[in-house]
Structure 1
């Protein structure tokens, strides 16, 4: 049974990040996904999201996303503010494993159409993360 409720589809994305389930992204992301701010050097679309989920899986153990707030607009956009906690146990975009616990936040705007995410705009508090990974 496929999930079509926009909030549930958006929340499922965080479950897949936490599980590191790259293959399951095909169930919730449109093949024509537009990522308005992809990771530098990656594709804007489903392949870029696959790369990002794999990077989280490789860089962190015990990744857990907690939804702090979620709302929906009348035209299919879902806003989600989240907090991710994990242990930094692998390489993260050139930063070797520190074995440190991390906690940082982000906000995503996703457009859900017919049960699939067709657009995403996301902002992660990477400065929070960077400070935790590099603090003396």
Structure 2
């Protein structure tokens, strides 16, 4: 496995699964740009970190990331993965349900010198909300 793919795997397991913000600081450049940040959210490391601390880990517990595929070209790593967790807090206006929710994600990370410097991503939030809303 390439060094850049290992960096992305480490981020997924240490930051997304375990909310290790020391690892976040180790893996994300201060010059980082999140090209997928929603309107009104900082495109820098602070906005990226806020998603994990204020959204994902507030809404879900027991988070696991299953990486299905990784492809690399020109220091960019594309990853297709599933983020799963128990819906234990508010998520985009939906109160906790206790259900196990699966979010399909595809992202591309530009890695330079072992750090994230750019990110583009697409997460199936509507699919997650449909799982939450289903009786």
Name the residue aligned to 2:5: 7
Structure 1 runs (4+) greater than 6 angstroms displaced:
none
Matches within 5 A, 1:24-63: 24-54=23-53, 55-63=55-63
- TM-score w.r.t. length of structure 2: 0.91
Distance 2:90 2:25 in 1: 25
Change (3 A) 1:21 1:94: farther
Aligned to 1:22: 21
Gaps of 5+ in 2: none
Unaligned runs of 5+ in 1: none
Cα 1:30–1:108 change in 2 (3 A) is same
Q: What's 1:64 paired with?
A: 64
The answer as to whether partners of 2:11 and 2:23 remain within 8 angstroms in 1 is no
Deviation of 1:92 (Å): 1.8
SS of 1:93 mapped into structure 2: coil
Aligned runs of 1:99-110 on 2, under 5 Å?
A: 99-110=98-109
Offset, 1:93: 3.0
3-state SS in 1 of match to 2:104: strand
TM-score by length of 1: 0.91
Give me the CA root mean square deviation: 1.4
Q: How far apart are the structure 2 equivalents of 1:40 and 1:90? A: 23
| Count of residue pairs brought into register by the alignment | 132
2:107 counterpart of 1:125: no
The alpha carbon displacement at 1:84 in A equals 1.3
Deviation string, structure 1 residues 12-36 (Cα, Å, up to 9, x no partner): 2211111022342110011111110
Alpha-carbon separation, structure 2, partners of 1:41 and 1:89: 26
